[in-house]
Amino acid sequence: MAGSKHENKTFRRRTVCKMGLVTAIAVPLSSLGPPVLGQSPNRMRPQPGDQLVFDEGSNRGELVRPELLVLEQKPLAALARDPESEVLRDGSRLNRVMITRIDTKKMTARFQDNAADGVIAYSAICTHTGCDVIDWDAGQLRMACPCHESQFDIYDGAKVVGGPAPRPLAMLPLAIIDGVVTVAALFRGRVGFTQQF
Ligand code: FES
């Protein structure tokens, strides 16, 4: 099972600075996940070892545990929190993720390691022009953007299956540590959008 597979992972903070490719007309985004000198901790992207905390719903403010999520439920917003400093990484909207629980056996194989006990997390920021991807097609199990109706397949790495979004949502790899959904690695994929002129 994906969760138990990750159960004993150990984590270390990455200190290597990796710059994302930014074009001349690029805007907000980037996957500047690793710590940047002088950057406020609450603006840093979710870091390996961070715990996820519900940012909406009846459990808002609580640590995310797999049993608090129902299979294939409408994704809920969550934020990362440093368990040592207790800093909530709420200083940038690019840090927000949408979480739900899936049947990992149905998931495209190359994304299965990013799930933990069936819990998955995708960036909440649409890759088209940056709206929050807050809608949900319960019939087709797709995340949807309310601005221009892009749709993303949660079982296939948030692949774009409708609308103008140019690329999938970034995925946040997860693990379970002491029963809590924890960040296993930096975002896979670029968070945010590139404005089109
Ligand atoms: S911003 Fe999401 S579809 Fe346009």
CA 155 / ligand 1 centre spacing (Å): 20
On whether residue 13 sits in a domain, the answer given is yes
CATH number, residue 122: 2.102.10.10
On whether residue 195 sits in a domain, the answer given is no
On whether residue 189 sits in a domain, the answer given is no
Beta bridge partners, 77, equal 98
On whether residue 194 sits in a domain, the answer given is no
On whether residue 197 sits in a domain, the answer given is no
Q: CA-CA distance, 25 to 21, in Å (whole number)?
A: 11
Range name among 14-18, 34-38, 90-94, 145-149 with the lowest pLDDT average: 14-18
Q: Tell me the per-residue pLDDT of 160-170, one tens digit each, with 9 for 90 and over.
A: 999 999 999 99
Mutate to test the pocket of ligand 1, among 145, 151, 194, 195 (most ligand atoms within 8 A of CB): 145
Q: Is the pLDDT score of 8 beyond 50?
A: no
- What pLDDT, on the 0 to 100 scale, is given for residue 35? 64
Q: Is the pLDDT score of 96 beyond 70?
A: yes
Mean pLDDT on 127-141: 97
pLDDT band with cut points at 50, 70 and 90 for residue 29: very low
Q: Is the pLDDT score of 25 beyond 50?
A: no
CA 28 / ligand 1 centre spacing (Å): 15
Atom in ligand 1 nearest the alpha carbon of residue 148: 3
Residue nearest to atom 3 of ligand 1 (CA): 148
Percentage, residues of the chain above pLDDT 90 = 78
* Reported pTM: 0.83
| Enclosing domain of residue 148 | 2-183
Contact call for residues 172 and 97 (beta carbons, < 8 A): yes
CA 29 / ligand 1 centre spacing (Å): 14
Residue nearest to atom 1 of ligand 1 (CA): 129
Environment class of 35 (CB within 10 Å of its CB; exposed 0-12, middle 13-18, buried 19+)? middle
| Selected residue with higher pLDDT from 77 and 23 | 77
Q: Tell me the per-residue pLDDT of 32-65, one tens digit each, with 9 for 90 and over.
A: 456 666 789 999 999 999 999 999 999 999 999 9
Q: Is the pLDDT score of 23 beyond 60?
A: no
On whether residue 125 sits in a domain, the answer given is yes
Query: How many separate domains does the chain show?
Result: 1
Mean pLDDT on 127-145: 97
Task: Name residues contacting ligand 1 (CB within 6 A).
Answer: 126, 128-131, 145, 147-148, 150, 163-165
Q: CA-CA distance, 164 to 22, in Å (whole number)?
A: 20
